[in-house]
Structure formats: C-alpha cells, structure tokens
Structure 1
Amino acid sequence: MKKIFQLFCIIILLISCLSCEKKEVPTVKTVKAIFNDNEISIEATGKIVSYGGADVLSYGICMNQSNNPTIADTKVEYNGVGVSSFTGKFSDLEINATYYVRAYAVNSEGTGYGEVLEIKTSIKALVTTKEASAVGLDSATLNGSVNPNNLLSEVWIEYGETTSYGSKVIIANFNGSAEIPVKVKLTSLAAGKVYYFVVKVKNELGEISGSQMSFETYGLKDIDGNLYHTVVINGRVWTKENLKTTHFNDGTSILNKTANADWSAVTGTAEPAYCYYDNNEANKNVFGVLYNWYAASNQNIAPVGWHVPTADELEELIFYLGGQYVAGGKMKTTGTSIWESPNTDATNSSGFSAIPAGVRGDRLDNQLGAFGDLYTDAAFWSCSEYNSSGRFMFVSYNTAFVQTRMLVSKSYGHSLRLIKDQ
C-alpha cells in the first residue's frame, strides 16, 4: 500500500512539472523602420512574438547611432500587456546620419530584443536656379542657391543657347546645412540671344539639378544707355521695345516739347521733338517715348547700323505676317493687363511685341497737341513721307487688322521701332 502511495505521488509530481511553463525573456521582432525626409523622423514597427511565459511589463523601440541599441539608449516605451504590434517615432534627428533601431519587450525574466535595423537620414542637396540678373548686350549674372544638407557637394552651373547647354562653370565644393548663394558672371555672350541655364550639384547621393531658367541678352543699346531686346522676323532684325532715347546718336539733344501748343507748332518749324505720354517720365519705362516725324526721319535717331523702317519695310513685315487683316494680332502682346479688352486675336506669334503707347496730336475736338489712345492703340512712324504728311503703321485693341501707309501730320507723336541695316 505504501508503494502504491509513493508511486501515486511521483505521478502527480511528474504531471505537475510537465504542466509548468518555463519562463524566459519575450521573443520580439523588429518589423521595419522608415525614414520620413519631410519631417526628418524615423518610425519603426515592432512585434511581440512570445511573452516568454510571463506578463510583459513594458515594450517599445530603442535607438542609437553606435549599433545594438538597448533600453538604456533613446527609446519610445509603452507599459501594459495584451499588445502584439507597436510603433515608435523619433524626431529632431541629424541629417545624413546613420541610426540603429530595434524593438524590445521586458518581463520578469529580462529584456528581449528584435533584430537591429540600420537606417540613414539621407537628404539630397536642395538646389534652386534663380533668375539671371544684370543682363546686358553680351553679359549676364547667373544666380542660384544650394543647401548641401551636410554632404560634401560639388556645385556648378551649365548654360548655353539650347537646353543641352554645352558650357559649364564650376563654382566650388560646399558642405553644411545652410542655404548658400551661388552666382557667376558671364561675359562674351552673343547679343540678342536666348540662353538657358541650370544649377547642378553632385555628392554621394548622386547628381541633382535645379529648375531650368532662361534669359535673353539685349540686342541693342542706344546713346542714352537704354537696352533693347531684338527679334528676327523674315530675316530682318527688329527691336522688341519702343525707342526711349532723348538724344541723337551724335549726342545732340532732341527737344522735349511739353506744352500742347508748342507740340502742335513744330509743323511750321520742322523741329525734331519728343515727349513722354502725358508728359510723365514714368511712362517711359513701359511705353517708351513719343516722337514727331521730324525726329523719326532724322537718320541720327538710331544707333549706327540701325534705322527707322521705311514704309516699304513696314509693308514687307505685314505681308510676311499674312497681310493686313491678320498681322495685327500676330504683332500685339497678349492679354489685357496693358491692352484694353478685348485685344482681339492677339498672339504675338511674331515676337514684335507691340504695346498700346498712345499718340499725341491735334484731335478732332480742336485740342492741339493732345494725348490720347493709351492702352488702345499702337502707332509707329516710318521714315517715309508723302507730300506734307508722314507715313505710319497703326495697330488697335479691338481688331487684328493693321493699317499701313497711313498719312498724318508730321507734328503727331508716335512710337518708334528700329530695324537693323542689311
């Protein structure tokens, strides 16, 4: 009987031991870690695979920059039980640095860790191409900025007359995390040409380009230093802006007639004269200068190698652009910011860029030398005359029609465009 009792106790003890679960540290998996370059943050995900036979007291993600992070390092920690998956987010990190993260969980037996994941806070350099400045006949300054984001970076600017560029200027090697302005002054450029340029950077993350920009060198400078863009139409080179000079090319001043009666009276004196619309010099920058025909027909009004077009040259221009019924639309700048609505059929496809600078002259209501038609009409003198009248070309806001060989008193004030000598 005693032996039976002893055997029974042994069996009970064995069953009890077999039913006891061995306690150990939790089994944890580090699932993933993602770098957010907008926030400069890392978010890692962990998972508790096994509690280890005991309640989990805490869990989370730990991180450092020296590998094998522990709970003694920076961590995101949670308390409690019943959770299998969790995340931890770390912010205010260094740019272009290496971090190590792993998940962990703690129970009464100790701390269990997941796999170590390495992640780099790599951010490409920030590259900006900015507008060119100080553009002249044969020179310009190209501008941009670079933030290397703590990577040693080679910086250069490429430029050329096509989007393939073809020319390169190396600026310097930069480092740090601040925005650094870059610029280069170009000389010996071709006059009257469009150039394209871009700022580029190369570092261990590869090559980065800013946005492409462009500029156009001026094609002409008058004796007063005013600069003009040019355009080629039918093989002839024209200025794209209204003339602004107040001197002939030999340095002689052109008379500035401000009083209406004085302006009208030049018909009897044949004096070359100019004025600003409404006698307001501020209008010069946008609309240029208004000249009477005596100034327009003076061969010294234009720089050497240029001249005011003849009536025949204006006719050739209109014919090339499709004739007088459509050419006006191809010559006018688009939109209604400067032209009065509707600015009919304006496309400026020719690049001539006519603007409504108005006129000055004797009006039908007996106002002598009065200003009018600003924002609605563009009138351009030719150097040709017919009897006592001067010939001019006229473009209006409400039609694509262009009138040529129109006759008007030589005392009228019109705009001037120049054409390059052949």
Structure 2
Amino acid sequence: MKLNYKIKSFALVAAFAATLAACTEDTADVRLEPGLNTIQNQNVTAFTAEVEGYIMAKDEAFTEVGIVYAFTQEPTIDDSKAIFEGERTKASFKVTLTGLDYARKYYARAYGIYPGGVLYGEELTFTTLPRVPMVAISSLTYEDGASAGFTAEVSDDGRGEVTERGVVYATAANPTVETGYKVVDDEVGLGVFEGVLEELLGNTAYFVRAYAINKGGVGYGEDKEFTTEILWAEVETGDVTAINKTTATLNGATPYDGGAEITARGFVWGLSDAPGLNDNLVDMMDAEGDAFSFVLEELELNTVYYVRAFATNSKGTAFGETKMFKTLADITKLHVVGDYNGWTNNASAPYIISTESSGGTAAGYIYLTAGDLKFIMEPGSWADETTFGDDGTGNLTNPGANIPVAEDGYYYITANLSDMSYTLLKRNWGIIGDATPGGWDAQTALTYDSELKVLKGAYALTAGAFKFRANDNWDYNFGSNDADGNLQEGGANIPVAVAGDYAVTLDLSTPNVFKYEANRWGLIGGATPGGWDSDTFMTWDATNKVFTVTVDLTTDQYKFRANGAWDINLGGALGALELNGSNIDVTAGNYTITLDPWTKVATATLNE
C-alpha cells in the first residue's frame, strides 16, 4: 500500500499489511471491532445506538476518530457523525449515536482523520427499534355495581407491530402491566377496542389507562380515575353439616364487606324455601373471622328446612344461596351377630335398618346358619343397654337370651325397639311366570351364593314375563315397575323379550335396596361370525355350571355382551374379566368358549 503521507513513527504499515492483503485509500487502519454487531444489537433503542471502532495505528496518527452514519450506504463525514471525545488510551473506542429516527435502517462505519485525509472502517447496518405505540382511553363508563366499561384506541403503532393491547387498572395512579390488573383485548394492531373491568371493589378509587406493546416497549395512555359505589356484601351459605334427628350445623361466611362496615350478619332459616329476616334468625356478629357456624337444636324429626346466610351494610341486606336440609327420621340400625358370622361384633357385621316410612321397624335379608344370634346397636360393644336378645316370650329385652336359629337359610329379619318385637322368617326364593320353566303355577328355585351374597340361577326362559316369589306364597313377591334392575314389593311383571338361556340374579343383600339381573350372554366382535354387528349367543351347560358356545373365530378380537346391548359387557383377561374391559385377542380356529358371568371367569379352548 502506498500513502502520500508518511507516518514512520506509527509502525502502522507493517501491522496493517500483516492484517490485510490489500487496502484502498478509503479504507485503512481503522475498522469496526469484530463481534461489534452483538455488542451493538444489545444497545440499539428507538433513538440511540452504541457503535464501537478499533484503531490499528498509533494514536498520534489521527486527529479525530468517531462513527459516521446515514440512511444510505457508505456514509462519510459529510453525513451525520459522532466524534469520540474521550481519551484514546486504548485501540478501541465507543460512541453513542443519538437523535436517531425510530424503526429505521442505518449504515455506519468508523472513521479517522489524519493529515493525509480520512480513513473509514468496514460498514455495518443496524435498525432502530420502533417507538412505543400511542394509545388512549376514549371513554370510561361506570354507573354502579362491580364493573365498568371502556373504549380505547391504538392510534399509532410506532412503526412496529402491536402484539398486545388492552387496559391496566389499580388503586394507585399510573398502573403498569407489572403493577396493575390487565384486561387484554382479543385483537392486536391499530384500531379501536373495548372491554369491561370486572370484580371491582366497592367504595374504591381506581386508576385506569390504556396500553399497547410493540418491540419498542409498552406505550401508555393518560390515567383515568373513577370511584365505585358501596356494593352489597358478599355472603356464602355453606353446606349444612352434622345433620341428625333434631340438630344440624349451619355454616356461612362473609368474605367481603362491599366496601362498607357490616352491621349485621348471621342465618335466617325456616320451612319456606326463601327464608328472610322475619323468619327464624341467628345473630352471628360476635363470631370472629369471615366464617361462622351455629348448631340448631330442637328440630323436628324427618323434616325439610331451608337456611340462608345474610349480611347487612349501608347498601342493604344481602343473602347467600338457599340451602336445604332434612333432619333424620327415627331410624333404627341393628347389627346381627351370631354363630353364622362367628359372633364377630364390629361394624362389618351384617345389619338390618328401618326407613322413614317403616314405623321404626328395622328389616333386612341375611343368610343364617343354625345356631343363635343377638341384635347389637353399637358395633364392638356388648353393653347391656345396646345389646338385645329374647326375653323368653318371643320379644326383645336387654341384654336378653340368645335368639335361636332353627336351620340354615336365607332369612327376612325384623326388629322394632318401640314395641320390642322381632321376627326371623326363612324365605326360599325362586322365579315364577309364563317366561319360566314352571309357568305361573310353580316357582323355579334360585340358589344362594355365600361368596357373592346373592341368589342366582340359569334358566331357559321364553318370551313372556316373570317375578320373584318366596315360599310359594304371593305375600312375598318382587317385581320391577320400570324393568330397570330395581325391585319393589309387589311390583310389575318383568318382561322377557327374547327366548334363550338367561343368568338370573336376585340381590337382597343391601337392606331396603333390592336389585335383579336377567342376562342372555353372547359373543360379539370382529373375530365372531356376526362381527361387531350381531351377537353369537351362548347356552347354559348345567353340568359344568357355565354358559358355553362352540364357534369358528377369525384372527381378531371379541367381547362378552349381555342381551345384545352394550349396557353390560365383559372384557380383559379371561381369568379375571372386567365390566367394560378391553377387547380380547384371538387367533383363527374353532373354539369352545365358556363363561361364568357371576365370577367373571371365562375359558377359550382351541378344538383340534
């Protein structure tokens, strides 16, 4: 490189020549520091930028250094420039460009003036950030209550994309997106938007301003202020707990006073479904904290009551939700303990119980073995006053003698502690009707399963109807008024729509809640002849006590299904089927399939 001006004392030529293979008169020993872009990009704002230069000659070579910049390429000192005013003790120098236009692309390069002219470094570009958007609330409407409406507009996006807009509000002036509550609009960009401030506190001054966000930051509008009125107190009526025959616990809370002092609070209750201040009132002003509770006493047995919590401030009286509760009837529950269960006296012992309409008579079905028993009111206790036995005349007394059970069987047991009576009646249950093998003339017996605690049987039923009857006596019969699996004493005949082999179950194990099933079982699935559209029904094998079918299956899946519908279906592992279990995989072949629907155990045997 040949220069007219000799700077022998700088040792510049050797250093620069070792660095660059060639140089022009415009570009000499001044250049931008490598890695400048990263440093500069971190310090570019809407109106300023930091640029760094690097001098590869001795400092004395230059009388002035700095950065030139413009909107066009290859800016010179005739364009805008920022002179480095600091002491040049190091090879690098840094200047801040100010007064820049926002969201504009600039070209910049370092320069150095020496007696021979001006040298320029490599050119770089940067783009200033957008200016924050201009946004303002045009209307703010508050009339009453806990909400206020607003309309706002983003009028200038600052040459940047507005990515979020909305309003912020707080109880202190000049809220920000960090310090206030935000209502974010669903849309972005320029334009008018509106919304609602909700869940405002009563008797409170609020400050609201619009905001919009772009890459340049957050722009805010002018503060708007309004004050809410005193609101109704917030009142909560909790669930009524610890409901007994004559007592119940009321629960309530006043989590917010509405912006004014609460002068009265408590409960109103009575027999009407919207109790008010003129009904029964419980004053809870002395209770500490927001929540409060009260135990009502001397209530009527088996009676429906209604209750509401209330609170009064200067706005008026507010009520919580109405809660309904019903006191307990005079229910008697007696556990039956005796030889049949090894005299195990605890809460797991079978029991009989009265209903609201049974006049205090507890009843239930239990399978007993020959031996003795007693009635226990308090499980685990043999105290005389809660233990009941026979008084020698066929009535109950405390603690009384053991009550004898003559023979094994399924017994209907009753006891009434008002008249101290009891009965044990063995009932032999079966099915009867024109759908059953014996028609309407003879009942077909069911068998008690001690493991499942149900009566069951498998029968070839015809289209028709049937009922459950005990002891060949119509005084003891169950039907189903809705044919829905629930039984009622003397209920309607149970229809059988299609002839076939059925698994029939009578479940009397839960006192006063009696159920039945009558299921015709079959296979369904892609592996079966009918696919997933129709069932291949099974027949009863009386010898092996299972339902069975021999059928050609393809490689696919199948399930067990009752009555050609999906209400009751079994799947999963054959040895432990589950209701609504997974499909069962099978490979092609001729199979004998068996199913015990009560134990939910099946087999699939491939025939040779």
Q: Which has the higher helix share?
A: 1
TM-score if structure 2 supplies the norm length? 0.31
The higher radius of gyration belongs to 2
Greater relative CO (CA pairs within 8 A, separation 6+): 1
Normalized per residue, the structure richer in strand is: 2
| Alignment TM-score, normalising by the size of structure 1 | 0.42
